[in-house]
Structure 1
Amino acid sequence: MESNTEANFSTLHRREVFYVGGEYVPDDAGNHTRQGQMYVERLIPAESDSSPSRPFPIIFIHGATRSGADWLTKPDGQPGWASYFLSQGFECYLVDLPFCGRSPWHPSNGAMLAHPAEAIQTMFTASRDLGTWPQAKLHTQWPSTGRIGDPIFDQFFASAQPILSDPVAREKASQKACAALLDRIGKPAILIGHSAGSSMLWLVADVRPAAVKMIVALEPTGPPFYKVGIASGSSAPYGIANAPLTYAPPVADPDADFTRVLVPAPGPGMMDCMGQAEGEGEMRPRQLVNLTHARVLVVTAQASYHAQYDWGTVRYLRQAGVGRVEHWRLEERGVCGNGHMMFMERNSDAVAAEVVRWIEKDQAVEAVV
């Protein structure tokens, strides 16, 4: 047994490590390498009266340049979300997506890229001082100066990972590996994904709809058809993903098949976002037919650059027929001052508690229905 302790909880658990997915790839000499496999860390809580077991495990999916280690220990040394959710009785699966962290990369997979520390401190950790979006000055929850040379920032940046530069190849490999993980688990699971990792939420639910019980998207990549962030620019040709998703009518050529329109921002401090045109017949928005029964929570932090445009992602999901989509702005729930890395910040347990309440509420609604 291993123990994780914080001021208000202590969790005993068992740990298992394994790999899923991947395939053997031959080289010119007829030798083979294994490529596309994914590292998984499974944490199983010990049963007790104070932490009752939950019916559905949680799969945690990290963002770009990150790894599954993000959920274990925060950069300030405090226990991360894995400890919190274990204390609430959830079995947890932490993944390193293919080609990242402990999931091997092979030179034939393609070039890798990394982001500089200056961009990271501006967008994630020191945005109160360096950020240029309207909400940036509200960022108070990062546990240090968030700048190069600060021990907590240095610890955070030391854990950054290079990522495959081809987003389509990256998403396709991650989709296959996460689907293989669901197959191995053998029962429905809850998916929690952060930032660029959120693309996997939609892609995995698309190929394993019956195995995805709920989806929690922590500031998913967006807005639709575009990417704002460290590497801003044209992105997500399938609306909310770079890799293909199943739409009805089918999408063969995203540039030709989607009729896109610019939707005005609904309020100050927000951005205009792209969406699908509304109309009849061929002008009706294409539907994500494998996500029609999905239950989705999108979480937006008060001070993040996502506060400008997550509304557009939520609108797109609803417009595309995704089942039940809720959007929580954390400040409206009394959780204030957070940036994009909300699950690593001082009040990360308060954010986690809100997510647990949503899961419990959703299960209660399902039981009544």
Structure 2
Amino acid sequence: MFAAATKLSASLAALLLAGALSAAPLSIEKQGSFAAGGTVVPAKTAYDPYHPTADGQDLHGDHAFVRYQIPTDARTYPLVFLHGHGEFSKTWETTPDGRDGFQNIFLSRGFKVYLVDQPRRGGAGKATVKGEIPAKSDEAFFFGQFRMGMWPKFYENSQFPEDAESLNQFFRQMTPNTAPYDAKVNARAMAAVLEKSDDAVLVTHSQGGGIGWLTGMMSDRIKGIASYEPGSNFPFPKGEVPAPIRTSSFFGDFKADEVPLEDFKKLTRYPIVIYYGDYIPKEPSTNPHLDYWRAAVKMAHLWADAVNRHGGDVEVIELPEKGLRGNTHFLFAEKNNLEVADLFSAWLKDKKLDIR
């Protein structure tokens, strides 16, 4: 009996040390959900309830869906989280191996947390245009594109949990579009989200980074942007767009977008931080997955330089340079995600975005 109790105590201590159990209860003052933005396609004819037709009915769609939680004694500025390609808000929740994700980590640090499903994805699946959802076998490709490794082997010293069940959980959180991806539709919906959250820090991942820059040029509710591994749609003002970066990527050369200078300057109104993980080469690579991210990081630095030239405040942080190694594309959901969160917390503190 004593030996069994000792084993139980040891197991409990191990769980606490691993961060699997919270040291203190989390008090939530308010929580809920809402739709934001979107459009309505009006009926073309009068509705006949005895002979219903599509032409006689409205269609609501292209909105974002948001779930939020507000802890007791919350900090002033919420964190509004937007997922990346092939994902939905689950990406910020419990990690694939069952630990707290950024949702709970930052709730426990006193932040109001808003989790967004972008239009035509996840809980915001209703669209105003036609779409198809094919049953597509592509998991080995994205295992490579997300820098987890070359299927079926993980890269050495990976921070991604490598057990079979964690990988199973990860693949099951991937979510298709219900209709064609449209960055402007998504940005308009995100601007509407921010009208409901009020002034906030926008936190994006991957493809969501491009939506974040568009939103940042539309909304005056943004106090800062933190972008995890943005991989496309960096906007430059006319006359300053860099040449495409040659790559061996399956997606071709890495290109930037052009926007009016007046819009671009709106990105200088608040601080921005960009984070990238590990396994990103500094020189051109014959690995098409890794070479894509080499080009993305290079473009991110060029973009940061452009924003800063115009009076902005952008910092690009590569985690290995901060002593954090082994992170894939999902650095906020991996075994060292508390350390990754600490970097973000330090930035929030430095920019006075963690005030109460």
TM-score normalized by the length of structure 2: 0.76
Partner of 1:94: 115
Deviation at 1:35? 0.7
Matched, 1:189 2:200: yes
- 8 Å CA contact retained: 1:44, 1:92: yes
Deviation at 1:57? 0.5
How many residues of Structure 1 are paired with residues of Structure 2 in the alignment? Answer: 307
Deviation at 1:100? 0.5
Partner of 1:230: none
Question: What CA RMSD, in Å, does the superposition of the two structures yield over aligned residues?
Answer: 3.3
Deviation at 1:207? 0.7
Deviates more, 1:20-29 or 1:5-14: 5-14
Partner of 1:204: 215
Deviation at 1:58? 0.5
Partner of 2:27: 12
List aligned pairs for 1:320-335, cutoff 5 A.
320=307, 321=310, 323-335=312-324
Give structure 1 stretches of 5+ with no counterpart: 48-52, 223-235, 241-246, 250-256, 266-271, 278-283
Measure, in 2, the Cα distance between the counterparts of 1:185 and 1:315: 31
Measure, in 1, the Cα distance between the counterparts of 2:202 and 2:295: 24
List aligned pairs for 1:1-369, cutoff 5 A.
6-8=21-23, 10-13=25-28, 14-26=30-42, 29-47=55-73, 53-106=74-127, 108-112=129-133, 116-124=138-146, 126-127=148-149, 137-145=155-163, 150-163=164-177, 166-167=180-181, 170-186=182-198, 188-208=199-219, 210-222=220-232, 236=233, 239-240=234-235, 260-261=242-243, 288-304=264-280, 305=290, 306=293, 309-320=296-307, 321=310, 323-363=312-352
Measure, in 2, the Cα distance between the counterparts of 1:25 and 1:115: 34
Deviates more, 1:338-347 or 1:98-107: 98-107
The C-alpha deviation readout for 1:152-209, integer Å capped at 9, x for no partner, is 1111111111125644xx21221111111111223x210110000111211111011x
Partner of 1:244: none
- Local SS of the residue matching 2:317: strand
Measure, in 2, the Cα distance between the counterparts of 1:364 and 1:174: 25
- Local SS of the residue matching 1:261: coil
Deviation at 1:95? 0.5
Deviation at 1:273? 6.4
Letter in structure 1 aligned against 2:87: R
Letter in structure 2 aligned against 1:261: A
- 8 Å CA contact retained: 2:130, 2:179: no
- 8 Å CA contact retained: 1:285, 1:319: no
Deviation at 1:351? 0.3
- Local SS of the residue matching 1:357: helix
- Local SS of the residue matching 2:207: helix
Identity, in percent, stands at 24
Letter in structure 2 aligned against 1:76: D
- Local SS of the residue matching 1:298: strand
Give structure 2 stretches of 5+ with no counterpart: 1-18, 45-54, 248-252, 281-289
Measure, in 2, the Cα distance between the counterparts of 1:334 and 1:9: 29
Mark the CA change 1:172 to 1:261 in structure 2 (over 3 Å): closer, same or farther: closer
- 8 Å CA contact retained: 2:77, 2:354: no
- 8 Å CA contact retained: 1:276, 1:316: no
Partner of 1:231: none
Measure, in 1, the Cα distance between the counterparts of 2:275 and 2:133: 29
Deviation at 1:258? 7.0
Deviation at 1:71? 1.1
Deviation at 1:326? 0.5
TM-score normalized by the length of structure 1: 0.73
- Local SS of the residue matching 2:328: coil
Measure, in 2, the Cα distance between the counterparts of 1:365 and 1:44: 14
Measure, in 2, the Cα distance between the counterparts of 1:299 and 1:141: 16
Deviation at 1:302? 1.7
Deviation at 1:110? 3.1
Deviation at 1:294? 2.8
- Local SS of the residue matching 1:6: coil
Mark the CA change 1:364 to 1:77 in structure 2 (over 3 Å): closer, same or farther: closer
The C-alpha deviation readout for 1:78-119, integer Å capped at 9, x for no partner, is 111110001111000000101111112347343446661111
Deviation at 1:329? 1.1
Between Structure 1 and Structure 2, the one with more strand by share is 1
Measure, in 2, the Cα distance between the counterparts of 1:263 and 1:122: 20
